Structure 1
Amino acid sequence: MGEFTTTETKHGPVPAARRRGPVDGRAPAGPRDPGGEPGTDDGRKPTERPAPFDEQEAEGLLEAARASVDPELRRAVATLPAPLRRIARYHFGWEHADGTPAEGNAGKAVRPALVLAATRALGGSHGAAVRAAAAVELIHNFTLLHDDVMDRDATRRHRPTVWSVFGDADAILAGDALQALAQQMLAEDPHPEARAAAARIAACVVELCAGQQVDTAMERRRPDEVTLDECLDTAEAKTGALLGCACAVGALYAGAGDDDVEALDAFGREAGLAFQLIDDVIGIWGDPRRTGKPAGADLMVRKKSLPVVAALTSGTAAGDELAELYGAPYAEGDLERTVLAVERAGGRDWAQVQAADRMARALHHLSLAVPDPEAAGGLLALAEFVTRRSA
């Protein structure tokens, strides 16, 4: 596996108010056990990539997953009543708002790709897991529809969000319908592990909802009332839980034992938290032409993303400046000052270090279930893809 490169903090100390992994600005040497020592606790070497990261490998896996899953998604959406069907087709990029065909972007298909890669890594059949992969993608899109309403995000995938086109009620109901379709898809799946997968996905949805509830509640609190630990826990529930669930469902469909299923769940959760850390960085410093969202939008609405909370809790002068800015409504011209304050307080560097640490932990968990680097290659490629992206 290629190394994750991180930098020493240039503009201030990295915050120390955290309980997971190093905070000294250095990328971790390797996976760590709960005691913090490099390596695994059973004497085996962690899973490593046999060659440097190849982005084309990950993109090939994502493309193959999308090609496998899209027909299942289209069949499921086609069963919806006409008004909900139209909204869902717009959301997936298959139609314009007026119902005419579109060649839109239905997303990267990271979660279904993880389901299929986990199944292959443990010797299962790709074809047998396609329906489960589609169900996981439906759950992901249910969360996107609801999140956009709650966060008032106006764009997704380079075009207006569903709520901004059809209204809040239709967006919420379309999301509910996608969640129901996911459960129906598994209920009708003859695979012997479909019931276990459905139960796992249902539990994941509850965790996602709990994480979102805490997240929205935190937005109503003052900057000095939010801790870094609770932000990390919330990010794990909101993002890591579904990536972990995707990997665990793939393991179930491969007929894996409980220990391997849980190890892959832990792998996905840690990789998911790394994903969220990078996503938060991109939300502040990403290129809008690539992200499809305006730069700094989260800062304008005073969202307490991970780099922001790291900066707020840094104990630096820049952190104090950021707290003052966050304590008042956004004013025209504040964005540049806010971005600089987050960076000078170490928020960006902390997030990059933390993402590397989480990936190291993810590799440790993966090595327990799939010690063969060749077999683990697909999962590793996908995990590296989502944490190396710049948009």
Structure 2
Amino acid sequence: MTALTSPVRESAEQVLARCGELVRPSLREAVGRLHPWLAEMAAYSFGWCEVGGAPAAAPGGKGVRQALAVLGAEAAGADGGAGVPAAVAVELVHAFSLLHDDIMDGDATRRRRPAVWRAYGTGPAVLAGDALFALAVDTLAAAPAGPGTVRLLSAALADLVRGQADDLLFASRPWTGPERVTPPEYRAMAEGKTGALLGCAAALGAALGGAPRETVEALDRAGRHLGVAFQLVDDVLGIWGDPAVTGKPVGGDLRERKKTFPVLAALGSPAARRLPELLGSAEHTGEAAALIEAAGGRTAALAEARARTAAARELLGAAPLAAGAAEELAGLLDLLVDRTL
């Protein structure tokens, strides 16, 4: 997979910036309605401030879900502002999930800073996550067509939780044998954990923009394919990516013995017989990465990511979307999936 050409990348990043500027005031206003202590933790999680409330040097995150919601509304022929409540709600749910994920996974850092639970404590971080989720539901319920969109959000959240549960259970399963985690199981987990909220963002924006049910469902499915593709590329970057780009140490996923798609795909090859004993060892990270690549794990992950991207493109091409927004959605898909390896 090659890096995006500069004009395509710049165009997609301009879309992210435009959508972020549209959503940011409403997102900040929503967070400001929380209890001051909870609002500070939420602001810290978004990268807006440091511990104690001092402004942060640079806000974190690209605002992908925000952009999908705005573009979903525009794809339905509405003004992007119609998708702002959806963008705010989905961004709040995403932040809530990250706060809780970091606690469950024991991840001490997030975006090169201490995770909220390390900065404020586990109990406060759980409470802040709960507050963000409640705020998301309230935000969406107050929007036009609220009850129907709340059902969309709750269904996506159920899938997200199911995916997270599978991901946690994967850690205790063996690398080989009948109880091993299979690539199809991993795809299902990734669709729930990552894809459900991406699909929900685009679908909610379209719903608030007045799109018919078929269009809402098509955008939901496209976003789910995008989520799986994004996760697969993230898995590849977690093994072979440049730490300066990813913010992760080289081979960190291998040392943590994470059951990522390249590893699972490689284990199906006789060439990877020694792989389980190499995983988790800092001394053998390079050898494990080379073995996974030789056994076809990297190739399989990227091929699956391309297939999911193609499926998302097909759905976008078949749906009756406003032309400009459809093109921007396709460009955003490229930016997320075709990252530099």
Q: TM-score range by the shorter chain?
A: over 0.9
Distance 2:76 2:219 in 1: 10
Distance 2:284 2:89 in 1: 42
**Map of 2:135 onto structure 1:** 181
Match of 1:370 among 289, 303, 320: 320
**2:75 is the alignment partner of 1:125:** no
**2:237 is the alignment partner of 1:282:** yes
Match of 1:69 among 23, 31, 38: 23
Structure 1 residue 115: deviation in Å? 0.9
1:287/1:181 Cα in 2 relative to 1: closer, same or farther (>3 Å)? same
Q: Which amino acid aligns with 1:168?
A: T
Match of 2:171 among 219, 240, 243: 219
Identity %: 45
> SS where residue 223 of structure 1 aligns?
coil
**Map of 1:340 onto structure 2:** 290
Conserved 8 A contact 2:229-2:309? yes
**Map of 1:359 onto structure 2:** 309
1:286/1:154 Cα in 2 relative to 1: closer, same or farther (>3 Å)? farther
Distance 2:57 2:116 in 1: 17
Match of 2:47 among 93, 101, 123: 93
Query: Could you tell me the TM-score, scaled by structure 2's length?
Result: 0.93
Q: RMSD over aligned Cα, in angstroms?
A: 2.0
Q: Which amino acid aligns with 2:19?
A: A
Q: Which amino acid aligns with 1:340?
A: A
Structure 1 residue 267: deviation in Å? 0.9
Distance 1:104 1:61 in 2: 19
Structure 1 residue 310: deviation in Å? 0.9
Query: Could you tell me the TM-score, scaled by structure 1's length?
Result: 0.82
Conserved 8 A contact 2:73-2:82? no
1:331/1:66 Cα in 2 relative to 1: closer, same or farther (>3 Å)? same
**2:266 is the alignment partner of 1:266:** no
**2:149 is the alignment partner of 1:197:** yes
**2:56 is the alignment partner of 1:106:** no
Structure 1 residue 357: deviation in Å? 0.7
Equivalences for residues 1-391 of structure 1 within 5 A: 54-189=8-143, 191=144, 193-224=145-176, 225-313=180-268, 315-317=269-271, 319-326=272-279, 330-370=280-320, 374-390=324-340
**Map of 1:44 onto structure 2:** none
Consecutive unaligned residues in structure 1, runs of 5 or more: 7-50
Structure 1 residue 302: deviation in Å? 0.6
Structure 1 residue 336: deviation in Å? 1.6
Conserved 8 A contact 2:2-2:340? no
Q: Which amino acid aligns with 1:307?
A: P
Distance 2:63 2:159 in 1: 21
Distance 1:332 1:347 in 2: 20
Q: Which amino acid aligns with 2:137?
A: Q
Conserved 8 A contact 1:156-1:293? no
- What are the Cα deviations for residues 164-213 of structure 1, in whole angstroms up to 9, with x where unaligned? 22222222221111111111111222x2x222111111111111001100
Higher relative contact order (CA 8 A, sep 6+): 1
Structure 1 residue 374: deviation in Å? 4.2
Distance 2:246 2:281 in 1: 24
Distance 1:352 1:96 in 2: 37
Conserved 8 A contact 2:233-2:301? yes
Conserved 8 A contact 1:149-1:163? yes
> SS where residue 333 of structure 1 aligns?
helix
Conserved 8 A contact 2:83-2:206? no
Conserved 8 A contact 2:202-2:223? yes
Q: Which amino acid aligns with 1:61?
A: V
Q: Which amino acid aligns with 2:149?
A: A
Distance 2:325 2:19 in 1: 17
- What are the Cα deviations for residues 232-257 of structure 1, in whole angstroms up to 9, with x where unaligned? 11111111111111111121012111
Conserved 8 A contact 2:20-2:63? yes
> SS where residue 273 of structure 2 aligns?
helix
Distance 1:250 1:258 in 2: 12
Structure 1 residue 373: deviation in Å? 5.2
Structure 1 residue 5: deviation in Å? 6.3
Consecutive unaligned residues in structure 2, runs of 5 or more: none
List, as ranges, runs of 4+ consecutive aligned residues in structure 1 with deviation greater than 6 Å. Answer: none
Structure 1 residue 133: deviation in Å? 0.9
Conserved 8 A contact 1:260-1:368? no
1:195/1:371 Cα in 2 relative to 1: closer, same or farther (>3 Å)? closer
Structure 1 residue 53: deviation in Å? 6.8
